Structure 1
Amino acid sequence: MERIVVCGLSNRALGMFIKPVIEKFAHTNKIVGFLDIDETRVELCKARFPELVDVPFYSPIQFSQMVKETEATTVIVTSRDDTHVEYIIQGLEHDLNVISEKPMVTTSEDATRVMKAEEASKGKVIVAFNYRYNPFHRKIKEMILEGKIGRVTSIDLNWYIDTYHGASYFKRWNRKREFSGGLSVHKSTHHFDLVNWWIDQLPEEVFAYGALNYYGKEGELNPSPVDNRYCGTCPEKRACDYYTRWSNRTDSVSVRDDHIKAESKETYRNYRPDACIFDHEIEIEDTYVATVKYNRGALLSYSINFSLPYEGYRLAINGTKGRIETQEFHELSRVPFPVPEQTIDYFPLFGSKEVIHVVQTEGGHGGGDPIIQEDLFLGPDPFRSYEILAGSKAGAIQSQLVKQFGNRVNKISRLR
């Protein structure tokens, strides 16, 4: 029986980890402790899951006490990104297995600390890169392993975040670089990991540009240059296109945060997820482009934009024997026009095109969440022919890549 303690009771922690442990994996896993900076989060967690009413609560300075008193064997880290490193390292120092939400850490220096701590520990680190488990992404991996396109030579990946999802990052803690490392860390980590895993090559060099085009004090759609506004109480929200796109005149559509329920925004201590997207304190970018060179010759052309009319991505992977293409329109309920079914198109270098209709599964992140949960709480599927569960090395590779990415982006931003 794995005895699990959870550090950081975000909505992600509740839905992605705690709920499946209780409902699906309780025969081999048990939640035995909570750690958070805010006792209110613990109260809300226990209200949602009455089975956990007797689970003890600890503050961040009581990590060692928590491990000792609960006899924990595993720690799940779902706190704010910049705090991951301390909980991961403390867990390893106590020889615990660690499951960390992505990103594993926000700096390459912290990645090095984690790798060294893991080497000296009996525990191991797993990074929950759940996007690998999406059925389309697994199929692409399998096609590459089968040699369908030969040796991978180049990748084009363009990611689109809509005005609903994109704006949410600028309403909460992600907008401060000291907390998130910027969205090249918090969000692009998913995408770089996918590419690295698909092609099984290591990034060597990266050149990148980043800019703040939509949000912050210079945002063109800012109703007025007023600071410290909140959507829930802002007298100018009817003049804000980002607000009215997803609400109405009676405000019956509430402000929503992707990680914390809107109805709780005033009950959490010192935190609201509806801060104004045009505040002066916003210091991260909302637009990125990057070129990455890999150790076996592949080249990646990547971009991401956090203020677009729809959400999804376009992908093309070229190889010496052919090409793979796919396009996703994410969360169709937010796309204001008809969209085609996602397929994978395979173009052999010489021959006929094949259209692949992938068998899909239910669950978050395109059906990937339930499958990674099985690997996390039951162990990796012994019948799978390739590795998919990510460890600390994958998390560290993202940090090293993003360090180069971030250094160049920050330099460009300062020159603007």
Structure 2
Amino acid sequence: MKRFAVCGVSKRAVGMFIKPMLETFSETSELVGMLDPDVKRFALCKEDFPQIAHVQEYDESQFHNMVKDTKPDVIIVTGRDDTHVKYIILALEYGLDVMTEKPMATTAADCQRIMDAEAKSKGRVTVTFNYRYSPFHTKIKEMILEGKIGRITSVDLNWYIDTYHGSSYFQRWNRMRKFSGGLSIHKSSHHFDLVNWWLDQTPEEVFAFGARNYYGEESVHNPEKKDGRVCATCDVKHSCSYYSRWNSRSNSFTVQDDHIESDKGRNESYTNYRSDQCIFDSEIEIEDTYTATVRYNQGALLSYSINFSLPYEGYSLAINGTEGRIETKEIHAPSRVPFPFDEQTIDYYPLFGSKEIIHVVKRDGGHGGGDPVIQEDLFMGPDPARPYEILSGSRDGSYAVATGEAIWRSVKEKKPIHINELLEKTSTKV
């Protein structure tokens, strides 16, 4: 029986780790401790899962007490992004293994601190990049490994976030760079890890442009320049296009999303936490639009873009190689798409030959069917039948974060950024 303690009782902690631990992997996994600055999160979690009523609770400053009392084998880190580095390093100092959600940290310097701590520890870090586990993404990896497109020369990846999901980041703590690292880290690190894994190459240099086009006080959609509003009590919310698109005047319909708390009343019951802050507040400091070029150590080039305020959600991908090309396009959250769309396939174009259309066997579960499979690897160990590595480690987490930081720094400094220079600037923060 492996013993787990959780640092940060977030929605991700409950849905991604605690629930499957209790309902699917209970014969081999035990939750022994929970740490969070907000006692209300403990109560809500235990309300959902009465079988953990006995699990001990700890304040954010009581990590040492938790380890001493509960003797965990693994620490799960799922709090606010900027808290990850603290608990990962503390766990490694105790020689404990760590599972952390993405991003591993919010700066490249803190990622380097984690790698340095891991090098001195018997503990190991796993970053739970579940995008790797989507059936479409694993199929693409297998095609690349089979040599279907030869040596990869370039990748085009365009990611689209709709007005519902995109605006949610600007209603929460994510909108402050000190908490999230900005969306090129909090969100895009998922995408950079996926590309890094497909390529099996290391990103070296980034040049990017970015802007805040949709959110903040200067937005063309702001009905009134005024700070401090929240949707629940806002007197101009029905003049707000973002609010009106997804809410009726009578609150008679709701919208579901994997990334956002669906029960607003429950969500707002957390201490000092709101997910309906105004998306037009002047304190918003992060970008909502990026385009970037990334150069890799073996010659591949990535052309990447992301936009956080679009009419629909999904992505468009093309991978070019010396022997051919792979294309795919996915639409996410179909219930929020107001038009018909084609089923996702993978289109394979040999450089000299006929096109093939590949229909991938789909799976149920979050993140395109990836969540149940990564949970098996996390709680049962990697699938021995899989012929390639898929779980991410601290190096993977570091390069994903460092690429995201290089993007926003390139935007601010208007110059190319070398990724290894960011990683070498080790923070002295305690």
TM-score bucket of the superposed structures, by smaller chain: over 0.9
1:326 alignment counterpart: 328
Report the secondary structure of 1:170's partner residue: helix
Residue aligning to 1:70? 70
Q: Does 2:201 match 1:201?
A: yes
Secondary structure at 1:213's aligned position in 2? coil
Task: State the partner residue of 1:231.
Answer: 231
Task: Give the letter for the 2:53 counterpart.
Answer: V
CA offsets 1:318-367 (integer angstroms, 9 cap, x no match) = 00000000000011111100010000000000110000000000000000
Q: In 2, Cα distance between the equivalents of 1:411 and 1:244?
A: 37
SS in 2 for 1:185: helix
Query: Which whole-Å CA distance do the structure 1 matches of 2:388 and 2:229 have between them?
Result: 49
- In 1, the alpha carbon distance for the partners of 2:140 and 2:246 equals 34
In the TM superposition, 1:343-362 aligns within 5 A as 343-362=345-364
Identical positions, percent: 64
Equivalent positions of 1:363-382 (< 5 A) are: 363-382=365-384
Q: Which residue of 1 aligns with 2:27?
A: 27
Deviations 1:248-279 (A, max 9, x none): 12123458883444122331111111000000
Aligned partners of 1:50 and 1:66: how far apart in 2?
Answer: 21
Aligned equivalents of 1:312 and 1:272: distance in 2? 26
Alignment of 1:16-415 (within 5 A): 16-253=16-253, 258-260=259-261, 261-412=263-414
263-272 or 375-384: which moved more? 263-272
CA contact (8 A) 1:324 1:346 kept: yes
TM-score by length of 2: 0.94
Partner of 2:424: none
| Residue 256 to residue 282, structure 1, CA distance change in 2 (3 Å) | farther
TM-score of the superposition, structure 1-length normalised? 0.98
2: distance between equivalents of 1:27 and 1:289? 46
Q: How many pairs align?
A: 413
Equivalent residue letter for 2:357: V
Q: Is the 8 A contact 1:99 1:128 kept in 2?
A: yes
- Cα deviation code 1:366-396 (max 9, x no counterpart): 0000000000000000110000000001011
Change (3 A) 1:197 1:206: same
Q: CA deviation at 1:399?
A: 2.5
Q: Which residue of 2 aligns with 1:13?
A: 13
Distance, in Å, in 1 between the alignment partners of 2:411 and 2:264 is 32
Distance 1:362 1:57, change over 3 A: same
2:389 and 2:256 mapped to 1: Cα distance? 36
- Cα-Cα RMSD: 1.3
SS of alignment partner, residue 40 of structure 2: helix
> Structure 1 unaligned runs (5+)?
none
Gaps of 5+ in 2: 416-430
Secondary structure in 1 aligned to 2:291? strand
Counterpart of 1:65, as a letter, is N
Local SS of the residue matching 1:245? helix
Give runs of ≥4 in structure 1 deviating > 6 Å.
none
Query: What amino acid sits opposite 1:182 in the alignment?
Result: G
1:121 maps to a residue whose letter is S
